Homo-oligomer: A and B are copies of this chain.
Amino acid sequence: MAYHALNEKTLPDYLRGRPAVAARFDRGADLSVKEVGDGNLNLVFIVANRDEPDQAVIAKQALNYLRVAGESWPLTRERMRFESLAMQTYNRLCPGLVPEIYDYDEEMSLMVMEYLGSHEIMRKALVERWRFPKFVDHISTFLVSSLFYTSDFSLPGVQKKEMQARFINPHLNKLQEDFVYTNPYISSPENKWNPLMDSEVEAIRADAGVKAEIAQMKAAYMTHAEALIHADLHTGSIMLNETDTRVIDPEFCFFGPMAYDVGAVLQNLVLNCLSHFGHTPDRAQREEYQDYVLGLVRGVWNEFARKLDEVWKAHPEGDLMPARYWESAGGTDAFATFRRATILRLLQETAGHGGVKFLRRMMGIVNVWDIESITDIRKRAVAEKAAIRIGVRWLMDRSRVTSVDDLIRVVKEEIAGIQT
């Protein structure tokens, strides 16, 4: 079927013609369809059997343009192929931490997958101060399994590069390169920011030192092909509840720097923490929840580091380095030292990429709902000023970071600055 964008009316007939999807519903089921896409790139539909609402799927179709910018920003649809490819890989490496995929139609750029009716988008749940006792464990496992098993730590060199070749994704790369590392820091028509932040935005744009470091992080993003990264792993790409966590929307995936994914998680948690200056007026309640969220930041990094070290130690099967390389030089100690140095480098790069991502969220095309939903722009500016200061400090001081507590201390200092 030649590509055409589907809608709530045309989708049911299309799905009835896809055997893998039809099998999910009773024969002759009366399908309800609701478009729920709040993302920037795609149509997203919930399709359910009106008589048996447990029979439901998600259908996701790529558009020819960047939705957030309007039809004037054309975009290739190949991203749905990359999303499908990443989802296959994640289902293999991190089973249970992504939705199940039922069908993929390359020509229609349309994927059908598990409906997560009992899950919430993490961003919204955090604004409502929910708690997720399994999140740290689940997301750190997702990060370690998806990154380690696609990296040179785990794979033979030839196999890794053959995999990398399948994930060359230049058009989506270009979006992140522009919208994370370039356009927010220059005058560009799609940029949006709180008018009370004019002078802060101007100051970043004029800061040669900050911009040089952003450029270094962009160089790393463009060239450091360490592992298959999700490349958009913010809290809007995580759906969860108290017992289950799923990562969605990996269309930006490619072989890039591991720290970009880790940085996205930590930085979005910190932004949420700051957003409670708007969302949670009661000080005791706010501080208690902010501490909880910062505990998630600490937990995610520390569990990521612990699990990565553990799995790497147990499976030194990649070409960087084979176990026998270390044998003549102290063996386990030398290998442990190398793992430790590598994980420290990842933390410092996490601070760098995470730091830049604070800035882009405050002054680029894609702001962040946690903050944007603060209707009082003065309260919003309080959170935003702190976010910019934290971003600059994570970025500029990254080479001196030695533990995640260094990053959390910066957040706490900026929070304390607000409250005095």
Contacts and interface: CB of A to CB of B under 8 A. Distances in A.
A156 B208 CA distance: 23
B208 A334 contact: yes
Interface stretch (A66-74, A212-220, A356-364): A212-220
A173 interface: yes
Interface residues of A, number: 53
Interface stretch (A119-127, A181-189, A289-297): A181-189
A211 B334 contact: yes
A241 interface: no
A330 interface: yes
Among A173, A178, A207, A211: residue with most chain B CB under 10 A: A211
A116 interface: no
Interface SS majority for chain A: helix
A36 interface: no
A208 B174 contact: no
A-B interface, 9 closest residue pairs, ranked by CB to CB distance from nearest = A208-B334, A161-B170, A158-B170, A208-B329, A205-B328, A165-B168, A208-B330, A211-B329, A157-B174
Given A223-B226, A321-B218, A334-B211, A171 B187 contact: no
A170 B164 CA distance: 10
B171 A158 contact: yes
A330 B211 CA distance: 11
A313 to B, nearest CB: 15
Contact of A161 (B152, B173, B337): B173
